[in-house]
Amino acid sequence: MLVAAAACPCPPLLVPAVAAGAAPELDDARAACLDAIGVLAAARPDRLVVVGPDPGADPGAGGTVPYPEGAAGGFRGFGVDLDVRLGPGGAEGAAAARALPPSLAVAAWLLQRVDWADAPVEGVGVAERLEPARCSAAGRELAARAPRVALLVMGDGSACRTVKAPGYLDERAAGFDERAARALGAADTAALAALDAGLAHELKAAGRAPWQVLAGAAHAASPEGRLLYEGAPYGVGYLVAAWS
C-alpha cells in the first residue's frame, strides 16, 4: 500500500555539477526536492520505488523497465564525470542492469544527497507514450509490492513555456502545467489520471506518464498533498509535491 510519495522534476541541471555556473537558479527546486524526500523517510516505508520517464522503455512491450537497487548511471553524456547508483545497496543483478536513464540518475543523486538508508530502493522506467490506463495499472502493481510503499516520482511539466524553451512557446503549456500543479498539490488522483496524454506529448511534458503511475498507486490511499515548488526556469515546468 502506498504510504507516501514525492514528485520531483528530473532535469540533469538539478545536479549542480551539470548546471555549473547556472546552479543557483535551481537552488529552491533542489531544496524542495530534498524536503519532499524527507516526507518519504518520515513515512517509514518498507520499500521505495523510484519512477521516471525512460527513453529505453517501449510502450508496445510492457511500457516499463525495472532497475534493481545498485543499478548505475551518471552524467557523462552531459559533459560531467559523475557517476551515481540507485540506493545504498546492490541487489543481485545490479551489475548487469542497463544504465539508469537520466530521470532515475537524477533521483539517485537526490537520494545520495540525503544519505537514503530508510528502505530498499528499486527503479522503474516508464515509456513517455504509455497509455493512461496502463500507467494506472502499473501504479497499482507497484503499490502492492510491500505493506508500506513510498514512491519518488520524477518528471517535468511542459517544455513550451517560452520562446527559448526546448519546445518553443505554446500557449497551451501554462494551462497544462497549472492543472498538473493543482492535481499534485491536492493529491487529486482523478485529475492526474485525466491529464491528456496527447497534449502532454505535444507539449513535451515528460512527467505525464510517471504522474499517472502515481495516481494509480494512490487510488486506494486517500493521501494529503502539498505543492512545495512551482516554476518554469528555462521555459520548462518544474513541480515538487509531497503526499502523505
* Cβ-Cβ contacts under 8 Å for 166 (sequence gap 6 or more): 159, 160, 204, 234, 235, 236
Report all structural domains of the chain as residue ranges with CATH numbers, in order of start.
2-243 (3.40.830.10)
For position 97, what pLDDT does the model report?
73
pLDDT at residue 144 is higher than 80:
yes
Q: How far is residue 173's CA from residue 157's CA, in Å, rounded to a whole number?
A: 8
C-alpha cell at 149: 510503499
C-alpha R_g of the chain: 16
* Mean pLDDT (the chain, rounded): 95
pTM recorded for the entire structure? 0.96
Confidence of residue 22 (pLDDT cuts 50, 70, 90): confident
Does residue 25 have a pLDDT over 80?
yes
Q: What pLDDT is attached to residue 90?
A: 67
- The pLDDT tens digits for 203-243 are 999 999 999 999 999 988 889 999 999 999 999 999 999 99
Q: What is the mean pLDDT of residues 38-42?
A: 97
Q: What is the pLDDT of residues 74-131, one digit of tens each?
A: 999 999 999 999 998 765 556 667 899 999 999 999 999 999 998 999 999 999 999 9
**Using CA of residue 2, residue 186, residue 159, residue 80, what is the dihedral sign?**
negative
Q: What is the pLDDT of residue 168?
A: 95
